[in-house]
Chains A and B, each alone.
Chain A
Amino acid sequence: MTVQDTTILRPIPRFRGVDHKTLILIPPGIMLLVFFLCPFLIMGAVSFYYRVPDGFYEPDFVLANYAAFFDPVFLTALARSLTLCAVISVVCVSLAMPFTYLVSRMRRGIQVPIVILLLCILTLSEVILGFSWTILLSRTAGVSNVLVWLGILDRPVSYYPSRIAIMIAMLHFCFPFAVLTIYPPISRFDRSLPEAAATLGAGPIRAFFTVVIPALRGTIISALVLVFVFALGAYLFPQMLGRPADWTLSVLITDQAIYKSNIPFAAAMSVFLCLICFALIVGVGKLTKKSEG
């Protein structure tokens, strides 16, 4: 917008106009600042509060909640969460890249039902999916019955609680998220590139790996980070399909907050988790911008 001479002559209507228009931002602004920003700021403050042993907390400035991180229970849970989510993220994005690429080249009549399926799974939450997996991996109704029927197993077995069960359920839950993250850039991807590769004699699989994948490097990296962060949020799968020894950071936070009534420690862990995610997202955002610019 350029400032023209007329605005100097008639400054009042212009300013009134701007004020009038921005007024409608006040209610949404209040909602977000009060009900979203405030909770995070208060949580940040509570992470420095003193925990009264009987279960409450009082305003103070202590670092004890952060010092508790050096507890081996926390450190192993942290290492476990990060490794688990890194594995899930890599597997999900590797499977989702060719899937999304192939789907984006299919007819609309196939794309729409697939997107609906992905949206359904993404929105169903861990409650119903976790429940379904406990059935699917159980002794009475699970896949082991199929293996018995095929003659591979002698009798049906239960596949949970186990780490593999958590991983399968998380893979299933994170996959739609991975696809929907990379779907927009892949659908905008210039088709003439793989076509040129085909003209030069590369088969579709080779063209995918030598042309499509390198061209979408930035997309892949940001998808890896987003899926990693998404996976860190998984909360019910580790509880429903694993043992307490398999619990992730998200479970520990809730456990401390609700069942151990140690809100300051839960807040400190939560602040720490937020910082990891922010650092990753901002860092990767900068990195991909630099490589593209």
Chain B
Amino acid sequence: MNNHLGKLYVFGIALFLMLPLIVVAGVSFNEKKRLYFPPRGFTLDWYKNVLNSSEWLGPIGTSLTVAAIATIVAVCIALPISFMMWRHGVLFAKALFGLGLVPFMLPPVTSALGFLIFWSEIGGYGSFWATTISHSVFLVTIPLMMISLGLETIDDAYLDAASSLGASEGEIFRTVILPLILPFIFGASAFCFVLSMNEYIIAFMVAGFTVETLPIKVVNSLRYGYSPAMAAVSVFAVLAAAGLFLTVARFGDLLKMVGALDKSD
């Protein structure tokens, strides 16, 4: 009895969480340019519309580029810091780690305003790089935490074995450590990528009127009225996120990546 109650509770909440996604998918199939739910008629024209018009493909391309570069930069910042802190306990690495956690402890608006002022002072306001670099340092928390979690799971015995067999520090990193943390790096990259793709406030504040990312485009078009095309774009965004996380779950232990204890039973 209690068991069923528990399941009901969990699935009730899961349903509430999915509700907006279901509705947004539903309205994207409307035949007329109105948002009815349940949809009236059925058409895939809005999806074709999105995929064929530069109006949407432009911002999608911009967002993909920003997200890809920001993700690579964020991982490149985080990997040495996490590694030096874990392997050698370097104090400077610990300080940088602490600094890297700050963006997620503060409301994003404060970081966004900081970036806005910074880029207008040094003269990069409104540029592609302002958005990209701001995203990469803002998102650095994710790889820092996830790569550290991955490093924590490495058994010291492997490292001892490698070094007693004569492997150098570099060889140990390449042949033992890197393969073990690769799923975590991949997971962190996926997380960063999706966050950057959907990030609005920073992109808006540092280059909102010149570099049009997908979220900025969506917000701008909301001002001119709703269309099922926007719902279709949202469905693409949801599918992309879900697809990436599914891939991560296939190649690594997703539960461990979000910090759960490994349970072999």
Contacts and interface: CB of A to CB of B under 8 A. Distances in A.
Interface of A: 21-22, 24-25, 27-29, 31-33, 35-40, 42-43, 46, 95, 98-99, 102-104, 106, 108, 111-112, 114-121, 123-129, 131-136, 138, 140-142, 145, 172, 175-176, 180, 183-184, 187-188, 203-205, 229, 232-233, 235-236, 240, 250, 253-254, 257-258, 263, 266-267, 270-271, 273-274, 277-278, 281
Given A43-B114, A273-B107, A281-B105, A35 B137 contact: yes
B179 to A, nearest CB: 20
Given A106-B10, A128-B218, A233-B106, 4 more contacts: A32-B96, A120-B245, A142-B37, A236-B200
Interface of B: 2-3, 5-7, 9-10, 13-14, 16-21, 23-24, 26-27, 34-37, 73, 76-78, 80-81, 84, 88, 90, 92-93, 96, 99-100, 102-103, 105-118, 121, 133-134, 136-138, 140, 169, 191, 194-195, 198-201, 204-205, 208, 215, 218-219, 222, 226, 230-231, 234, 237-238, 241-242, 245-246, 249, 254-255, 258-261, 263
B111 A39 contact: yes
14 contacts: A25-B92, A29-B92, A43-B114, A119-B241, A123-B198, A129-B20, A131-B24, A131-B231, A140-B37, A184-B258, A184-B260, A235-B108, A236-B201, A281-B105
B222 A131 contact: yes
A135 B35 contact: yes
A32 B200 contact: no
Given A24-B80, A131-B230, A205 B2 contact: yes
Contact of B117 (A21, A42, A121, A187): A42
Contacts of B35: 135, 138, 140-141
A42 B10 contact: no
Contacts of A123: 191, 194-195, 198, 241
Contact of A127 (B105, B118, B133, B215): B215
B36 A35 contact: no
Contacts of A258: 204-205, 208
Nearest to A119: B245
B107 A32 contact: no
A127 to B, nearest CB: 4
A204 B137 contact: no
B218 A131 contact: yes
B109 A250 contact: yes
Nearest to B107: A233
B254 A112 contact: yes
Contact of A180 (B2, B17, B258, B261): B258
Contacts of B92: 22, 25, 29
Tell me whether chain B's interface is mostly helix, strand or loop, or mixed: helix
A43 B80 CA distance: 28
B17 A117 contact: yes
A21 B88 contact: yes
Q: Which of A25, A99, A140, A236 has the most CB of B within 10 A?
A: A25
A117 B133 CA distance: 28
A113 to B, nearest CB: 9
Contacts of A266: 113
Given A205-B2, A236-B200, A116 B242 contact: yes
A113 B262 CA distance: 17
B14 A114 contact: yes
Nearest to A99: B13
A176 to B, nearest CB: 7
B89 to A, nearest CB: 8
A132 B18 CA distance: 11
A125 B198 CA distance: 6
A235 B77 CA distance: 28
Contacts of A25: 80-81, 84, 90, 92-93, 96
Contact of A42 (B6, B7, B108, B118): B118
A176 B134 CA distance: 25
Nearest to B5: A205
Nearest to B78: A28
Contact of A176 (B17, B100, B200, B204): B17
Contact of B121 (A42, A103, A118, A257): A42
A134 B257 CA distance: 33
A254 B109 contact: yes
B237 to A, nearest CB: 6
